[in-house]
Chains A and B, each alone.
Chain A
Amino acid sequence: DTGVSQDPRHKITKRGQNVTFRCDPISEHNRLYWYRQTLGQGPEFLTYFQNEAQLEKSRLLSDRFSAERPKGSFSTLEIQRTEQGDSAMYLCASSPEAARESYGYTFGSGTRLTVV
Chain B
Amino acid sequence: GDSVTQMEGPVTLSEEAFLTINCTYTATGYPSLFWYVQYPGEGLQLLLKATKADDKGSNKGFEATYRKETTSFHLEKGSVQVSDSAVYFCALFSGGYNKLIFGAGTRLAVHP
**Chain A residues engaging chain B, CB cutoff 8 angstroms:** 4, 6, 33, 40-45, 48, 56, 91, 93, 100-102, 104-110, 112
Contacts and interface: CB of A to CB of B under 8 A. Distances in A.
Most-contacted residue by chain B among A41, A105, A106 (CB, 10 A): A105
Would you list the 6 A-B pairs with minimal beta carbon distance, nearest first? A42-B102, A107-B43, A107-B44, A109-B43, A102-B51, A110-B43
B100 interface: yes
A6 B44 CA distance: 13
Contacts of A56: 98-99
A30 B44 CA distance: 19
B69 interface: no
B91 to A, nearest CB: 8
10 contacts: A41-B105, A42-B104, A45-B99, A91-B43, A101-B31, A104-B34, A104-B91, A104-B93, A105-B46, A109-B43
Contacts of B31: 101
A105 B98 contact: no
B57 to A, nearest CB: 10
Contacts of B105: 40-42
Given A104-B93, A110-B43, A42 B51 contact: no
Contact of B102 (A4, A43, A102, A110): A43
B42 A109 contact: yes
Contacts of B99: 33, 45, 48, 56
B79 interface: no
Given A6-B43, A102-B51, 10 more contacts: A40-B105, A42-B4, A45-B100, A91-B43, A101-B31, A102-B93, A104-B32, A104-B100, A108-B43, A109-B43
